[in-house]
Chain A
Amino acid sequence: MKKIINIILSLSLLTLFGCSLEEEPVTSLGKQAVFNSEDGLKAYMYGLYDILPTPDGIQQSEANLSDYFAYSGVNSFIYKDGYNESSSSSWDWSGLRSINYFIENCEKSTLSDKIKNNYLGMARFLRAYFYYDKVTTYGDVPWIDHPLAVDDPLLYATRDSRETVMEKVYADLQFAEQNITQGKESTCTLITKWAAYAFASRVCLFEGTFRKYHSLSLSTSSDTWLDRAATDARFLMDNGGYSIFTTTDSTAYRKLFTSDAPKTSEIILGVCSSASLNVYHKANWNWNTASYGNCPNFIRPFINTYLMRDGSAYTDKTGYETEDFSSECKNRDYRLYATIRTPGYKREGSIALPDFSGFARTGYHPMKFSVDSKDGDNTLKNTNSLPIFRYAEVLLNYAEAKAELGTISDSDWEETVGQLRKRGGVTSGLSTKPTKVDSYLKTTYFPKISNPVILEVRRERAVELCMEGFRFDDLRRWDVGKLVMMPWRGMFIKDVNVALDMDSNGTPDVIYYTDDAGLASAKSKIDWDKYKSTCAVVNVSKDLTSSIVTVIPNGTGYNLGWGTKDEKLRVFGKKQYLYPIPALVITKNGKLTQNSGWEDGASNDGSDVE
């Protein structure tokens, strides 16, 4: 018996200590392996690219907040009492940690400085991208340049001043400009040194104008930043080898946003999709399906800013206010035809008018990012590439910086705005800077600006870059945030309760009716059975407190209206130039102070609205 127990015990002990309990992971990597090889750095860098916007991020960048769109619902940030420090939630810092982790470990890498600096340049470009977003959203934010340990005092640091942070951002961008080795390349998807220059011009223009129009008295003046913007843009213009993409016909601007392959002459950094790789976005779905998303429609004041092709302002035309859709679309800058559905636009071979009874409540149906094929109208199917940085923006950054500095010349004008207007088919005013103040722009948009060049540069920027994610930043830096309160007025219609021919081709296209009798009368005047499948019917109300599309008398006809009921509830007070830091963030770190006006749960109550 003892013997047996002995055998068992010794057997068990033998097995026990004979078998190690170590199990090394097989399918993941350790830190050394990653950072001591260039392939490792590259693969980590591909992960960091996720900080850049996605295709849907770009095509939806203005899907909720701008001054030129009427939305199906009002963004709570500009809806009276809809927003306070508890509603705020986008205080995400994970992207920064990921970048700083890379920078810290890349600096320790055993690879050569040249290789390391190339990757460090890209990482610092992305860090600048991260911080630019934080500063434009919140103003002062803590500057953090290494991955924090759980007991790092920086976790509980105060906010660093905007001035400090933006100097760091600029330093990151300068490092990126000088150290990224990648130049212009054919896929337009890699971070190049030119992307760093383009971004620097964007950041510096923002900071320069923001300081100027918000009268910030900081030690670095707004002119310093405007100089930087102009210098960086100029360097790219002189050395980057980019040009404005053109074609022999009027379709260049449309093709820029609807081609699968980025137009390499103009796109500096883009986002691609690919059918063969099963990577799609859903621009068609978003911009054609009324029930999907916030359904943005352009409003008429913005459409009015598109020039006539002869170079004159549309708003200088007598009676422009009561021109109907078909008339107002004639002889305009080609870019209008690529931005909204206009008469003559066809999809898959058939006439495609705005979706009057669905998407196009104001009549102006955006189409800049959606393609002519209907395949993706209700599914994820778009493969057109979209821009993050393109040369046209750099030209506009340059023109604006020079205009703000007061040093813009005729040749500057010709090289920048002139080229963009030329692509739009505009035939005059291309080589000399404007000298006449456009009264429509001044009264409708920028009453405080009397410099005709600045006014025209701003018109150009809105027209050229609309929907690409610049507008809300532009409104904030120009100190004209209250433009988001603009009434949402749509196109002019001659009458209600009659069938209207919107494209002047002889067939009725839409009936705006106020009641059943009106609809019946409109139908009775045409061969309804013949047109019922193509003629839309839209119920409208003359009562401006109604929730449906409204009609506002204008001369002998009406303008379409949307959201008239809540018009007065859209607000933009002084505090709204910055978002509040989320309340919980301040609870966790009491040293963070709230942005002015947002303290103690105060809401966007519309105070300070002029």
Chain B
Amino acid sequence: MDCTFVTQRIGFSRFLAALLAATALVCSPDYSNAATNRSLGETTQIGELPVSGVILDAKGQPVAGANVIEKGTSNGVMTDMAGKFSLTVKEGAELEISFIGYTTQSLPARGSMRIVLAEDSEFLKEVVVVGYGSQKKVDLTGAVANVGSEAFENRTLPNVTQALQGAIPNLNLTLEDGKPTRSSSFNVRGSTSIGQGGSALVLIDGVEGDPSMINPNDIESVSVLKDAASSSIYGSRGSFGVVLITTKASKKGRTTINYTGNFSIQRPTESPDYVTDGIEYATHFREAWYNFFGTVPTAMNGFQQYSDAWLDTFKERRKNGIKDEVVTEDNGSYTYYGNTDWYDELFKDNTFAQDHNVTISGGDDKADFYISGRFYKYDGLYNYNPDTYKSVNLRVKGSLNVTKWLKISNNMDLSNSDYNNPTILSRAWTVQRFIELTAFPTMPLYNPDGSYTKSMAATLGAFESGNNYIKTNKKSLRNMTSFTSSFLNNRLHVNGDYTFSYQTDQTDAKSYDVSYSQKAGEMLIRSGQNTAYEFHPSTTYMAANIYAEYEQKFAEAHNFKAMAGYNYEKSKYRNSSMSRNGLLLSGAESIELSTGSNVTTDETIRNWKVQGLFFRLNYNFKERYLVEVNGRYDGSSKFPENDQWAFFPSVSAGWRVSQEPFWKVSPKAISNVKVRASYGSLGNGNVNPYSYLELLNVSTSGRVINGALNNKITMPAVKPSNLTWETATSFDAGLDISFLNDNLRFNGDYYIRKTKDMYTVGVSLPDVFGAASPKGNYADMTTRGYELSLTYNNHFMVADKPFNFQVKAALFDYKSKIDRYNNATKSLGDYYEGMTIGEIWGYETDGLFQSEAETQGYVNTIMQASANKAWHAGDVKFVDRNDNGRIDYGDNTKDNPGDRKIIGNSEPRYQYSFGLNLDWNGIFFSAFFTGVGKQDWYPTTESSAFWGQYNRSYNNMPQWHVGNYWTEDNTDAYLPRYSSLNSTMGRGGSNFYNDRYLQNISYIRLKNLQIGYSLPQRWIKNLRLQRVQVYLSGENLFCWSPMYKRVTGFDVLTITGDTDSDLSSSNSQGSGNSYPLLKSMSLGVSLTF
């Protein structure tokens, strides 16, 4: 009787049904009699028909405990563990086969029968986790979406966030790069607030937690509460949606042990592809320089001398087949003629990751337990001092039924992860950025005597030396103790929980000199900070909830449910950091071994508390008319004393049209129709603590005064007056329809979210005020969007075995507009009333100048493509849209933008996903795609991996530039005349964007692909195994974007946003210089004992 419970792919409803059936089997005397009947009736009488058969589910698995009854009689049996039954009925009788979770079928009785039960709509039975409870999906009136554990199965991903990407429509997770430690904030339904900002509240088993710290294999389901009506129970922190992560429950019955192992091979999806031929690089370097300055360069960023004579020699050597890359001159100095592929040196071709997971679970009516452990190891992508990542998770859950009505549980979660992030000498910049600026193909890594070259010292040398790194150790301990109790015949439940968690994120970093040489026998030092840094952030958090739920039904038609409770949370964050220069030795690992005089200490403390009283009332009439009211009286320490408390109510209602007596449509065509709507208003509690106080901050001055760096105190920001809550009011209208006996389901939601009174800059004051005008509740924004999803499930028989398939697709979109903002002149550097979030202003271009004559009379003094601002054939030609005889940006306002217009939008639009799941006879296949229908990106000034030598002449040259720029022989090239420091392409920032180099970064991506096989029972039975599955699983295997037609070397997912927020100048180092996103192929096995 155990095997039914252990298949991982079992749906929750089936599980529940099977559990009930099993209980019935054990407890029901009727059925045991029925079983006895059969054994007694051994002789068959005339007019009676012995029937035997097997009942299977859609996947071909036997269904145990199904009822088989001769229609119209009480004659019946239940199927055994193998799904088999035998029964004697009157000839010509009909059999009625029923089982919870499946559609009841009536069939004429035959001697031998093989019956496949169609799954009853999960739709009707499916239970969704909502705030402080769960609800049947059919009864939902709010906008809630969820995924089950299938989203995480068979995938080798370091953390949950990465697995959830794209899994739920309008749950937006933007990962800035592919580091194994990378997580992101959770966004629901687009732009939240331009004032205080705000992301979704993430709760793990009902209490706030860090999703990047939990074991993906522990997750049973993830629910996203999208509208205010669903999330208002969480008050001010739920203003922009709530994500509920529920961990797996222990499974009663025989103890099962599951082991899953994954071995994966990984490599970057894309990384900058630079010219590695020294001569080609140097030739273009000279050209880019010369075309701008009109002089011949003398050095490549001071790293290598340049002269035409050197380049001639280089060419001569190649012609003569001389391959030596370093020549030692008479005076001992080295001259380089290299052809180095720095990225090949930087990254391994492939790296490996492994993931081992063990789960042990079991229990009986008295007690149950669930223990899981996971070990994940990533070998790192870098060739030198690789960035290894290791994480360990342990979860122990158990519960005990103390009495019939009281159950207590405990849920403990422990995790630990270590990441070694090697750095260059400066902790501010990525190594990619420095390769672009200092490591040229013309220079090799090593000198003949084995010492580093200067480029090596500035980049990989710092890695190889092992003395430059940021090591992070993240630990989290979380324990939740809870009780559930039930009274009054299960009509009243009282639940409570207490959670304590402690999380630290300790960072140790170090920077130390790297030596190199430019001359035989001479060692030089490329100085690091020679400093040790330590950061000790920790968060101590506690949460307590107590709530009661009462359910009552009247006259079989009126269903009432009421829930009320109290919540209290307290968080203390403290970050002490220190650094000291003067490390005594290169290998010193501790700040204790520093002796320098530049000692900095810093501490940040942020404490907050919230508490709230909340309630929910549900009423429905015959599950036809549904109404729900939620509310929370919420208090937060982050607000001034007189404004700490506020009440946030919401209401939602649904109408199941298909339940109406007048609804006569056959369920075979349309089986379910529900319309619903919700409305609610929530305050935004995402305020930094203390932001309403007039405080003078103490910091360390960067100025040497009296021989030291002293503490300095700075003027406080002008205190905002009349600060109040930002509110997010959302309206949601939804439609759920299912067709074809619930095989085809459609869900749609349209929403409007108005974020009002956003905390933004005040009315612009004359500059003599001397400070930013005090912020206040001055801005409004409206976000409109929708989510559509479609699922089709069915099966047919192939070779007598069911072939199941599922196709699902989702499309969603949102768009935000500013309704009110203090920018009277509508200056374009800022938000303004009527602005669409993400809009990009730029110039219109009209190709490239094709002759010098064409440049006559063209006036463009705001940009330059040569030092003396002259214009030449091959330069980008801008359109004088306002016909004033010159290219200008007017007042830089919306009403007088000069020659600029809106050329695009940086927000992702029309995001979609679709997936396919197939299984047959133990073989399964799934594919999952995600994509964005429309999105623009303008490469920022420092995106040198895009601009190459058009930015700085000595930058590395992207391979795609070769042969793709204007010359007299290549007049319809994409790129202009080869000239560095070129502001016509965007150098100089957003004031110079234009439509020619705007990139369309919409994409479609194959996020996950799986092929696997569950070994047949008969093969594994003797091994005492219940299930064995082997599979191949791939992540990020394929991506296509219109941008890739021209531009290579960037993954569209990592080019927007931060480059590497672990480093101090994340935003200025240029897109493309971030840790690459990885694609992986893994081989996995799952064994269940």
Is there contact, CB below 8 Å, between B701 and A46? yes
Chain A nearest CB from B734 CB (Å) reads: 33
**How far, in whole Å, are A377 and B524 apart by their CA atoms in the complex?**
14
Chain A residue nearest in CB terms to B297 = A358
B644 interface residue, CB < 8 Å from A?
A: yes
Tell which of B148-156, B357-365, B665-673, B687-695 binds the partner. B687-695
A272 within 8 A of B: yes
- Smallest Cβ-Cβ distance to A93: which chain B residue: B770
A37 vs B891: C-alpha distance when bound (angstroms):
48
Q: Is B106 an interface position by the 8 A CB rule?
A: no
| Nearest residue, chain B, Cβ from A377 | B302
Contact residues in A for B890 (Cβ distance below 8 Å): 86
Cross-chain contact B611 with A19 (CB below 8 angstroms): yes
Flag whether A213 is at the interface (Cβ < 8 A): no
A137 on the B face (CB < 8 A): no
Tell me whether A46 and B527 are in contact in the complex, defined as CB-CB below 8 angstroms, given that A98-B770, A190-B705, A583-B891 are known contacts: no
Point out the residue from B709, B769, B980 that lies within 8 Å of A279, measured CB to CB: B709
CB distance from B614 to the nearest CB of A (A): 10
Q: How far is the CA of A386 from the CA of B568 in the complex (A)?
A: 58
Residues of A within 8 A of B (CB): 1, 4-5, 8, 11-12, 15-16, 19, 21-23, 25-31, 34, 40, 43-44, 46-47, 49-50, 54, 72-74, 76, 79, 81-82, 86, 91-98, 100-102, 142, 144, 147-148, 150, 154-157, 187, 189-190, 271-274, 276-279, 288-291, 355, 357-359, 361, 375, 377-379, 381, 528, 532-533, 536-539, 546-549, 563, 565-566, 583-585, 587-589
Assuming the contacts A40-B713, A357-B296, asked whether A273 and B704 have C-beta atoms less than 8 A apart, the reply is: yes
**Are B708 and A378 closer than 8 Å at their CB atoms?**
no
Evaluate whether A82 and B295 lie within 8 angstroms (CB atoms) in the complex, with A22-B641, A46-B705 already known: no
Given A21-B644, A155-B766, does the pair A277, B705 have CB atoms closer than 8 Å?
no
Query: Which stretch of B184-192, B317-325, B487-495, B904-912 is in the interface?
Result: B487-495
Q: Which residue of B lies closest to A91 (CB)?
A: B767
Interface centre among A23, A74, A92, A189 (most CB of B within 10 A): A23
- B870 touches which of A82, A538, A547 (Cβ 8 Å): A547
B557 at the interface (CB under 8 A from A): no
Residue contact A277 to B706, C-beta cutoff 8 Å: no
Rank and list the top 4 A-B pairs by shortest CB-CB distance, nearest first. A97-B770, A378-B302, A548-B294, A358-B298
What residues of chain B lie closer than 8 Å to A148, measured between beta carbons? Answer: 768-770
Residues of A within 8 A of B294 (CB): 539, 546-549
Please give the distance in Å from A51's CB to the nearest CB on chain B: 11
Q: Is the CB of B298 within 8 A of A355?
A: yes
Is B597 an interface residue when CB atoms closer than 8 A count as contact?
yes
Q: Which residue of A lies closest to B772 (CB)?
A: A94
Query: Complex formed: what's the CA distance from A539 to B286 in Å?
Result: 13
What CA separation (Å) do A154 and B765 show in the bound complex?
11
Find out whether the CB atom of A588 lies under 8 angstroms from the CB atom of B764: yes
List, sorted by A's number, 24 A–B pairs whose CB atoms are closer than 8 Å. A1-B487, A4-B548, A11-B566, A15-B611, A22-B637, A23-B607, A27-B605, A28-B696, A49-B703, A73-B869, A96-B768, A150-B773, A155-B768, A187-B707, A190-B705, A276-B597, A278-B531, A291-B289, A528-B309, A536-B307, A547-B867, A547-B868, A584-B825, A584-B891
B residues 692-721 in Cβ contact with A at 8 Å: 693-698, 701-716, 718, 721
Q: Which A residue sits closest to B610, measured CB to CB?
A: A21
Least distance between A380 CB and chain B CB atoms (Å): 10
Q: Which residues of B are in contact with A by a Cβ distance under 8 Å?
A: 289, 293-299, 301-303, 305, 307-310, 313, 329, 335, 487-488, 492, 494, 527, 529, 531, 544, 546, 548, 565-566, 568, 581-582, 596-598, 603-605, 607-611, 613, 635-638, 641, 644, 689-690, 693-698, 701-716, 718, 721, 762, 764-771, 773-774, 825, 827, 861, 864, 866-870, 890-892, 952-954, 980-981
How far apart are A164's CB and chain B's nearest CB, in angstroms? 15
Whole-angstrom distance between the Cβ of A267 and the nearest chain B Cβ = 14
For A549, list chain B residues within 8 Å (CB).
294-295
Question: Is A47 in contact with B302, judged by CB distance below 8 angstroms?
Answer: no
Please tell me if the beta carbons of B702 and A548 are within 8 angstroms of each other in the complex: no
Tell me which of A8, A79, A91 has the highest count of chain B C-beta atoms within 10 A of its own C-beta.
A8
Q: How far is the CA of A15 from the CA of B635 in the complex (A)?
A: 13
Given A533-B329, A549-B295, 9 additional A-B pairs, CB 8 A: A12-B613, A23-B609, A187-B705, A272-B704, A291-B301, A378-B301, A548-B295, A549-B294, A588-B767
**Pairwise interchain contact A358-B611, C-beta atoms closer than 8 A:** no
Which residues of B have CB within 8 Å of A361? 295
Q: Which residue of B527, B713, B825 is within 8 Å of A29 (Cβ)?
A: B713
Q: Is the CB of B698 within 8 A of A43?
A: yes
Complex contacts, B861 vs chain A, CB 8 Å: 76, 79, 81-82
CA distance A412 to B299 in the complex (A): 49
| Listed residue (B546, B641, B713) with the most chain A CB atoms within 10 angstroms of its CB | B713
Contacts A47-B712, A79-B861, A548-B294 given; indicate if A94 touches B703 (C-beta within 8 A).
no
In contact, A73 and B774 (Cβ under 8 angstroms) = no
Contacts A73-B868, A361-B295; A19 near B609 (Cβ below 8 A): yes
User: A270 to chain B: closest CB distance in Å?
Assistant: 10
Contact of A47 with B714 in the complex, beta carbons under 8 Å: yes
B690 touches A25 (CB 8 A): yes
A228 to chain B: closest CB distance in Å? 27
Residue of B nearest to A284 (CB): B302
Q: Is the CB of B868 within 8 A of A381?
A: no
Q: A26-B605, A378-B303 are in contact. Are A49 and B701 (CB under 8 A)?
A: yes
Q: Which residue of A30, A40, A79, A150 is within 8 Å of B774 (Cβ)? A: A150
Chain B residues near A583 (CB-CB < 8 A): 891
**In the bound complex, how far is the Cα of B544 from the Cα of A538, in angstroms?**
77
CA distance A601 to B890 in the complex (A): 10
A80 to chain B, nearest CB (A): 9
Kindly identify which residue among A31, A47, A79, A187 contacts B694, using a CB–CB cutoff of 8 Å.
Answer: A31
Q: How far is the CA of A26 from the CA of B698 in the complex (A)?
A: 12
CB distance from B773 to the nearest CB of A (A): 7
B60 CB, nearest partner CB in chain A, Å: 49
- Chain B: CB-nearest residue to A156: B766
CB distance from B555 to the nearest CB of A (A): 21
In the complex, residue of chain B having the shortest beta-carbon distance to the beta carbon of A546: B294
B767 touches A50 (CB 8 A): no
Taking the nearest CB of chain A, how far is it from the CB of B884, in angstroms?
11
**Shortest Cβ distance from residue B345 to the other chain A in the assembled complex, whole angstroms:** 22
Least Cβ–Cβ distance between A28 and chain B, in angstroms: 4
The distance from the CB of B579 to the nearest CB of chain A, in whole angstroms, is 10
With the chains together, A583 CA to B827 CA distance in Å? 12
Q: Quote the shortest CB–CB distance from A89 to chain B (angstroms).
A: 10
Contact indicator B827/A34 (Cβ below 8 Å): no
The residue on A at minimum CB distance from B645 is: A21
Contact A155 B712 (CB under 8 A): no
Q: A12-B566, A44-B712, A290-B295 are in contact. Are A150 and B765 (CB under 8 A)?
A: yes
